[in-house]
C-alpha cells in the first residue's frame, strides 16, 4: 500500500443555483453565481461582476476539457485515484466570494445556504472528505452562532477571510477573542484561504502581473499570522488552531524568526506582551498548506513538522493535478527527513488536524 496522501487545499464547485435558488426574494440582489461568456468565467453577486477569470486551456494540460470532479464526487474520486490523493478538505468556489457581500443578512443567509448544502453533499463521504464551513464576519453574533451551529453538525473546520472586509475589526483586535475561544472550545480549526476578503485578486496588471499576483498570495498568510500572533489573539486562546491555505508555506519559518527578533529588539515598545515568543505561538497553533515550495521542509526545525500540510488545490489549473504523483515523488529529494515526517507532511498532519473520519487518525483526534 502506498503512502496516505491528503490534500489540505481542494475546492468543490457548488450548484450554480445554490444562492439564486435558495435565497429569499429580498436577498436575490446579492445572490452569488457564475456565468461563462466570451472565454471568461464571471462571478456575480446579483447583477454585479465580482471577478472575471479568462478560461485556461485545460485540454492541453489534461487531455480533456475540464476537471470532471469539480462538482461530482464519483468523477472526483476517479481523478483522485489517478492522481494518488486519498482524502481532501474541500473549500468553496462561489462561496469564496462570500466576503464581497456587504449586508449582514445577505452574508449570513449565504453562509448558511453554503454550509447546509456542504453538509448534505459531503456527509455520506466523511472517510474521504472533510467539510469546511464558511463563517459570516459582518456581525459577530452571526459569526458565533454559525460557528456553533456547524460544529453541532460535526464540522471540524470553518473559514474566515484573510482580508477583513469593511469596518470589521482587524485580527490584532481583542474583539476577535470570543470567536477564537469558541473555535477552541468546539475544536473547529479556523481556515484562512488565500484571496478571501480581498477587494481584488488582481492587484497588478503591468509586466509580470501573473507572477506577481499569484506570488503575493503569500502576503495573505504573512499578514494573517502576523496580526493574530502580535495582537495576542492566539496567545490568549491557546486552544485555537488556525491554518493558512494556498499561500505556500516556506515564509512561515522566516516570519517566526523575524517576529522573535523584533519582539526582543523592540521589546520596550511591544504591546501587548505575549506569554510565549511569537515563534512558539506559531509552532503551537499555526499550520500551512503548500504544493511545491520545499524550503518549508528544510526549515521545519523552526515551525515544527506538524505545521506542514501538502495540498493539490484540485481542481484549479495552478494546482498539482494531474501530476501530483510526480510532484510528491520529488518533494523530499536531497532533504534528510524520516519516513514518519514524510507521511505526516503528505497526509497525517492534515488528517489529524481536521479529524478525518478514519480509524487510523482517530486516536490523535481526542
Sheet with 48-54, edge to edge strand ranges: 32-37, 40-45, 48-54
Whichever of 23 and 158 has its CB closer to Mn ion, that residue is 158
**Considering only 42-50, 246-254, 258-266, 276-284, which stretch makes contact with Mn ion by CB under 5 A?**
246-254
Secondary structure in 3-state letters for 215-255: HCHHHHHHHHHHHHHHCCHHHHCCCCCEEEECCCCCHHHHH
* Minimum separation from the CB atom of position 163 to Mn ion (A): 15
User: Binding marks (x or -) toward Mn ion, 45..64, rule CB under 5 A?
Assistant: --------------------
* Least Cβ distance, residue 310 to Mn ion (angstroms): 13
Cα–Cα separations (whole angstroms), residue 48 to 103, 110, 293? 14, 16, 36
Q: Is 220 in the site for Mn ion (CB under 5 A)?
A: no
- Select 9 or 107, whichever has its Cβ closest to Mn ion: 9
Question: What does the alpha-carbon distance between residue 185 and residue 167 come to, in Å, rounded to a whole number?
Answer: 27
CB of 28 to Mn ion, least distance (A): 28
In angstroms, what is the minimal distance from the CB of 105 to Mn ion? 28
- How many angstroms separate the CA atoms of 30 and 74, rounded? 31
Contact with Mn ion (CB under 5 A) among 88, 220, 246, 341:
246
x/- mask, Mn ion, residues 2-31, rule CB under 5 A, reads: -------x----------------------
Identified binder of Mn ion from the candidate list 146, 313, 341, 344, rule CB under 5 A = 313
Long-range contacts of 19-26, Cβ-Cβ distance < 8 Å, separation of 24 or more: 19/94, 19/110, 19/113, 22/113, 22/117, 23/106, 23/109, 23/110, 23/113, 24/109
Q: Is residue 342 within 8 Å of 334, Cβ to Cβ?
A: no
Helix (H, G, I), strand (E, B) or coil at 100: helix
Q: At closest approach, how far in Å is the CB of 246 from Mn ion?
A: 4
Alpha-carbon torsion (101, 102, 106, 108), positive or negative:
positive
- Rounded least distance, CB 245 to Mn ion, Å: 6
* Residues 128-157 within binding reach of Mn ion (CB under 5 A): none
**Binding site residues, Mn ion, CB under 5 A:** 9, 246, 313
Amino acid at each position: 500500500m502506498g503512502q496516505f496522501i491528503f490534500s489540505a487545499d481542494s475546492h468543490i464547485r457548488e450548484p450554480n443555483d445554490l444562492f439564486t435558488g435558495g435565497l429569499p426574494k429580498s436577498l436575490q440582489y446579492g445572490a452569488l453565481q457564475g456565468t461563462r461568456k466570451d472565454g471568461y468565467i464571471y462571478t456575480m453577486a446579483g447583477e454585479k461582476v465580482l471577478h472575471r477569470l479568462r478560461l485556461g486551456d485545460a485540454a492541453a494540460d489534461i487531455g480533456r476539457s475540464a476537471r470532471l470532479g469539480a462538482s461530482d464526487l464519483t468523477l472526483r474520486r476517479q481523478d483522485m485515484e489517478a492522481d494518488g490523493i486519498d482524502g481532501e478538505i474541500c473549500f468553496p468556489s462561489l462561496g469564496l466570494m462570500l466576503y464581497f457581500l456587504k449586508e449582514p443578512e445577505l452574508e449570513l443567509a449565504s453562509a448558511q445556504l453554503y454550509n447546509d448544502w456542504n453538509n448534505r453533499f459531503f456527509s455520506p463521504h466523511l472517510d474521504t472528505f472533510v467539510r469546511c464551513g464558511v463563517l459570516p464576519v459582518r456581525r459577530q453574533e452571526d459569526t458565533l452562532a454559525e460557528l456553533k451551529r456547524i460544529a453541532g453538525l460535526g464540522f471540524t473546520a470553518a473559514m474566515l477571510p484573510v482580508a477583513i472586509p469593511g469596518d470589521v475589526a482587524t485580527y490584532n483586535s481583542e474583539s476577535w477573542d470570543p470567536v477564537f475561544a469558541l473555535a477552541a472550545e468546539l475544536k473547529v480549526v479556523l481556515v484562512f484561504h488565500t484571496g478571501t476578503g480581498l477587494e481584488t485578486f488582481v492587484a497588478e496588471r503591468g509586466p509580470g502581473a501573473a507572477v506577481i499576483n499569484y506570488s503575493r498570495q503569500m502576503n495573505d498568510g504573512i499578514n494573517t499570522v502576523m496580526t493574530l500572533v502580535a495582537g495576542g489573539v492566539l496567545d490568549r486562546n491557546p486552544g485555537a488552531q488556525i491554518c493558512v491555505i494556498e499561500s505556500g508555506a516556506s515564509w512561515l519559518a522566516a516570519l517566526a524568526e523575524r517576529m522573535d527578533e523584533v519582539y526582543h529588539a523592540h521589546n520596550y515598545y511591544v504591546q501587548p506582551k505575549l506569554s510565549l515568543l511569537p515563534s512558539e505561538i506559531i509552532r503551537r497553533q499555526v499550520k500551512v498548506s503548500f504544493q511545491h515550495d520545499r524550503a518549508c521542509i528544510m526549515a521545519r526545525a523552526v515551525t515544527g513538522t506538524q505545521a506542514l500540510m501538502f495540498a493539490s488545490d484540485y481542481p484549479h489549473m495552478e494546482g498539482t493535478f494531474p501530476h501530483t504523483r510526480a510532484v510528491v515523488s520529488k518533494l523530499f529529494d536531497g532533504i534528510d527527513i524520516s519516513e514518519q515526517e514524510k507521511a505526516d507532511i503528505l497526509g497525517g498532519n492534515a488528517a489529524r488536524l481536521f479529524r478525518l473520519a478514519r480509524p487510523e487518525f482517530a486516536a490523535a483526534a481526542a
